[in-house]
A and B are shown apart, each in its own frame.
Chain A
Amino acid sequence: MVAAGIGLWLAATNPSSFQKTDEFMQATKSAVLILSDGTRFPGRSFGFEGSTSGEVVFNTAMTGYPESLTDPSYEGQILVTTFPQLGNYGVPPQDGASGLSRYLEGSRIHCRAIVAQDYAFHHSHWLASEPLDQWLRNERVPGLFGVDTRALAKHLRHHGSMLGKIIVEGCGEPELYDPNAHNLIAATSCDQAVVFGTDGSTQPLGNPEELAPDADGRKTVVLVDCGIKHNIIRCLLRRGVRVVRVPWDYDFNRIPKDGLFISNGPGNPEFATATIDHLRTAFKDGKPICGICMGNQLMAKAAGAATYKLKYGHRSHNQPVRMLGTERCFITSQNHGFAVDNETLPADWEPLFVNMNDGTNEGIRHRTLPYFSAQFHPEASSGPRDTEFIFDDFVKML
Chain B
Amino acid sequence: MSLQKKYRKVLLLGSGALKIGEAGEFDYSGAQALKALREEGVESILLNPNIATVQTSEGMADRIYFLPVTPDFVERVIERERPDGILLAFGGQTALNCGVELYRSGVLERYGVDVLGTPVQAIMDTEDRELFVEKLNQIDVRTISSEAVENVDAALEVANRLGYPVIVRAAYALGGLGSGFCDNDSQLRELVEKALSFSPQVLVEKSLRGWKEVEYEVVRDRYDNCITVCNMENFDPLGIHTGESIVVAPSQTLSNDDYHFLRSLAIKIIRHIGIVGECNVQYAYDPESMDYRVIEVNARLSRSSALASKATGYPLAFVAAKLALGFGLFELTNSVTQCTSAFFEPALDYVVVKIPRWDLGKFHGVDRHIGSSMKSVGEVMAIGRTFEEALQKGLRMIGQGMHGFTGNRPSVVDDIEGALKSPTDRRVFVIADAMEHGMTVDRIHELTKIDRWFLYKLRNIVDTTSELRGFNNLEAVPENLIRKAKEQGFSDFQIARAILKSEMGCAESAVLSVRNLRKTMGIVPVVKQIDTLAAEYPAATNYLYLTYNGYQNDVEYTGDHRSVVVLGSGAYRIGSSVEFDWCSVNALLTARKAGWRSVMINYNPETVSTDYDMCDRLYFDELTFERVMDILELENPHGIILSVGGQIPNNLATRLDSQGVNILGTSASCIDRAEDRHKFSAMLDSLGIDQPRWRELTSFDDIDDFVAEVGFPVLVRPSYVLSGAAMNVCSNPDELRRFLQLAADVSKQHPVVVTEFVQYAKEIEMDAVAENGQIKAYAISEHVEFAGVHSGDATIQFPPQKLYVETMRRIKKISAKIASALQISGPFNIQFLAKNNDIKVIECNLRASRSFPFVSKILKINFIDLATRVMLGMPVERPAKSAFDLDYVGVKASQFSFSRLGGADPVLGVDMASTGEVACIGDDTNEAILKSLLAVGLRVPKKAVLLSTGTPKQKADMLEAAHMLHRAGLTIYATGGTCQFLHENGIPAIKVYWPSTPDSKPQALDLLHNREVDLVVNMPRNFTGTELSNGRQIRRAAIDLNIPLLTNSRLASAFIRAFTTIPVDKLEIKSWQEY
A interface residues (Cβ-Cβ under 8 A, vs B): 1-6, 9-10, 12-13, 15, 18-22, 25, 58, 60-64, 66-67, 82-85, 88-89, 92, 103, 117-118, 120-127, 148-151, 153-154, 157, 316-320, 322, 327-329, 331, 356-357, 380-386
Contacts and interface: CB of A to CB of B under 8 A. Distances in A.
Given A13-B440, A18-B463, A382 B347 contact: no
Interface in B190-247: 223-227
Nearest to B418: A5
A198 to B, nearest CB: 22
A357 B351 CA distance: 25
B760 interface: no
Contacts of A384: 260, 263-264, 345
A9 B549 contact: no
19 contacts: A1-B410, A6-B437, A9-B439, A9-B443, A12-B440, A21-B478, A60-B534, A63-B256, A85-B386, A148-B549, A148-B552, A153-B535, A318-B345, A318-B347, A320-B340, A331-B344, A383-B256, A384-B260, A386-B267
A246 to B, nearest CB: 28
Given A25-B480, A60-B533, A4 B347 contact: no
A344 to B, nearest CB: 25
A329 B484 CA distance: 44
B1025 to A, nearest CB: 28
Interface of B: 223-227, 250-257, 259-260, 263-264, 267, 287-289, 328-330, 339-341, 343-351, 385-387, 410-418, 433, 437-441, 443, 451-453, 456-457, 463-464, 466-467, 470, 478, 480-481, 484, 526, 528, 533-538, 549-552, 554
A162 to B, nearest CB: 16
A82 B456 contact: no
B534 A83 contact: yes
B262 to A, nearest CB: 11
Contact of B255 (A3, A19, A127): A127
A150 B535 contact: yes
B264 A385 contact: yes
A125 B287 CA distance: 8
Contacts of A149: 349
B534 A381 contact: no
A5 B453 contact: no
Nearest to B416: A3
A63 B416 contact: no
Given A13-B440, A82-B347, A150-B535, 19 more contacts: A1-B433, A3-B413, A9-B437, A21-B478, A60-B534, A62-B348, A63-B255, A63-B256, A66-B255, A82-B534, A83-B348, A103-B257, A124-B451, A125-B255, A126-B287, A126-B288, A150-B528, A320-B330, A385-B264
Contacts of A63: 251, 254-256, 259-260
A13 B549 contact: no
B478 A126 contact: no
Contact of B330 (A12, A62, A118, A356): A356
Given A318-B347, A386-B267, A85 B252 contact: yes
Contacts of B481: 21
A114 to B, nearest CB: 15
Nearest to A64: B256
Contacts of B538: 157
B386 A117 contact: yes
Nearest to A151: B552
A385 B260 contact: yes
A3 to B, nearest CB: 5
Contacts of A84: 349-351, 385-386, 549
A377 to B, nearest CB: 12
Select the residue from A2, A10, A120, A320 with max chain B CB neighbours within 10 A: A320
Contact of B345 (A20, A317, A381): A317
A379 B228 CA distance: 19
A220 to B, nearest CB: 29
Contact of A153 (B437, B526, B536, B549): B536
Interface of chain A, main secondary structure: loop
B347 A120 contact: no
A64 B329 CA distance: 26
B553 to A, nearest CB: 9
A151 B415 contact: no
In the A-B complex, the 7 residue pairs with the smallest Cβ-Cβ separation, listed nearest first, are A122-B456, A64-B256, A13-B438, A124-B453, A60-B534, A151-B552, A60-B347
A122 B452 contact: yes
A327 B415 contact: no
Select the residue from B224, B341, B346 with max chain A CB neighbours within 10 A: B341
B902 to A, nearest CB: 26
Contacts of A157: 535-538
Contacts of B480: 21, 25
B440 A151 contact: no
A352 B1047 CA distance: 69
B349 A150 contact: yes
Contacts of B554: 150, 154
Nearest to B337: A357
A88 B288 contact: no
B499 to A, nearest CB: 14
Select the residue from B287, B411, B417, B538 with max chain A CB neighbours within 10 A: B417
Contact of A62 (B329, B347, B536): B347
Contacts of A62: 250, 259, 347-348
Contact of B550 (A150, A357, A383): A150
Contacts of B349: 60, 82-84, 117, 149-150, 153
A124 B452 contact: yes
A123 B453 contact: yes
Nearest to A67: B256
Contacts of B413: 1, 3
A322 B329 CA distance: 11
A328 B253 CA distance: 32
Given A5-B416, A21-B478, A125-B253, A118 B451 contact: no
A356 B341 CA distance: 6
Given A356-B340, A382-B256, A10 B385 contact: no
Contacts of B386: 84-85, 117-118
A122 B412 CA distance: 30
A105 B256 CA distance: 12
B550 A151 contact: yes
Given A63-B256, A117-B549, A320 B347 contact: no
Contacts of A153: 349, 534-536
A1 B254 CA distance: 37
A328 B223 contact: yes
B350 A318 contact: no
A119 B126 CA distance: 40
Given A21-B480, A150-B349, A356-B343, A329 B534 contact: no
A218 B934 CA distance: 70
Contacts of A15: 438
Nearest to B347: A60
B256 A381 contact: yes
Contacts of A127: 255
B586 to A, nearest CB: 34
Contacts of B526: 148
Contact of B463 (A5, A19, A126): A19
A125 B470 CA distance: 34
Contacts of A327: 223, 225, 328, 330
A317 B440 CA distance: 37
A17 to B, nearest CB: 9
A290 to B, nearest CB: 21
A9 B550 CA distance: 38
B283 to A, nearest CB: 16
